[in-house]
């Protein structure tokens, strides 16, 4: 309790490197491993990233008008790239607009050579939406390692949260090790998430494992 030296994923540096606005658009050329964060608009992604990375600047960049629909890239500690995917499924826009997230997010994931894993955020208070299910189906089709974070856990009583964690996990057929309960208000789950991210970063790319012949230099 007295020291933060044992805290996983301490941010020593954070640099915004740019945004990808379309599937064929700019993206960083880097050999650093990438971890991407995805979730419905308003799920609590900015608040979570702020807790995880301890940098308000990051949330400011990602919430700038024009950047909210881009894939935003941040270099953390010169060790990895944090990829902030645009929030999807905003309820108050048309069906066509709501479907717009798919090509960009899916295109990014299919084309990223360095992607090591996805952190998918779900609001613990709600049943997963159709968009959440589409996203999870897509992730399992691509085969990318996925951690699911249930956000805003502080809004439920102990009994409600146990029920919701059980029912969401069962509904989506998730393993309990894959699911992290998180609160940006209390900080609960922050270190567990940081350790899970470090775990993903320490793995070789699942693409190399899945297709060894594709790894030739
Ligand atoms: P984003 O659109 O996914 O980036 O969501 P935000 O981080 O902007 O959060 C959306 C709303 O939920 C804001 O009003 C936040 O204050 C609130 N919120 C986010 N995380 C939490 C949390 O862990 N607990 C509570 N009580 N509120 C949260």
Is the pTM above the cut of 0.75? yes
152 lines ligand 1 (CB under 6 A): yes
6 inside domain: no
Residues (pLDDT < 70) of the chain are: 1-5, 57, 59, 62, 90-99, 210-217
Domain count, the chain: 1
User: Ligand 1 mean position to 44 CA, how many Å?
Assistant: 4
Neighbours of 90 (CB within 10 A): 15
CATH of the domain at 84: 3.40.50.300
Neighbours of 197 (CB within 10 A): 22
Give the model's pLDDT for residue 58: 73
47 inside domain: yes
| Beta strands 179-181 and 146-151, pairing class | parallel
8 inside domain: no
Can you tell me which atom of ligand 1 is nearest the CA of 62? 4
Q: Where in the sequence is the domain holding 29, given as residue range(s)?
A: 14-204
Give the model's pLDDT for residue 2: 42
Can you tell me which atom of ligand 1 is nearest the CA of 50? 7
Q: How far apart are CA 217 and CA 211, in angstroms?
A: 14
Q: pLDDT per residue over 38-91, tens digit each?
A: 999 899 999 999 999 977 767 677 677 777 788 999 999 999 999 999 988 765
Give the model's pLDDT for residue 3: 46
217 inside domain: no
92 inside domain: yes
């Amino acid at each position: 309790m007295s020291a933060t030296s044992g805290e996983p994923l301490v941010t020593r540096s954070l640099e915004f490197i740019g945004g990808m606005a379309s599937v064929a658009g700019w993206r960083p050329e880097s050999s650093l491993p990438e971890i991407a964060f995805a979730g419905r608009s308003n799920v609590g992604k900015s608040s979570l990233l702020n807790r995880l990375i301890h940098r308000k600047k990051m949330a400011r960049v990602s919430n700038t008008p024009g950047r909210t629909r881009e894939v935003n890239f941040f270099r953390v500690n010169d060790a990895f790239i944090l990829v902030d995917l645009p929030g999807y499924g905003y309820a108050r826009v048309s069906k066509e607009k709501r479907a717009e997230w798919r090509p960009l997010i899916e295109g990014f994931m299919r084309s990223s050579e360095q992607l090591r894993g996805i952190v998918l955020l779900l609001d613990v208070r709600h049943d997963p939406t159709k968009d959440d299910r589409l996203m999870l189906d897509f992730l399992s089709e691509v085969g990318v390692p996925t951690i699911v974070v249930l956000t805003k856990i502080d809004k439920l009583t102990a009994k409600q949260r146990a029920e919701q964690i059980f029912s969401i996990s069962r509904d989506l057929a998730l393993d309990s090790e894959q699911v992290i309960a998180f609160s940006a208000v209390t900080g609960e789950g922050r270190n567990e998430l940081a350790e899970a991210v470090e775990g993903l970063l320490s793995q070789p790319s699942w693409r190399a494992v899945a297709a060894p012949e594709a790894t030739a230099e």
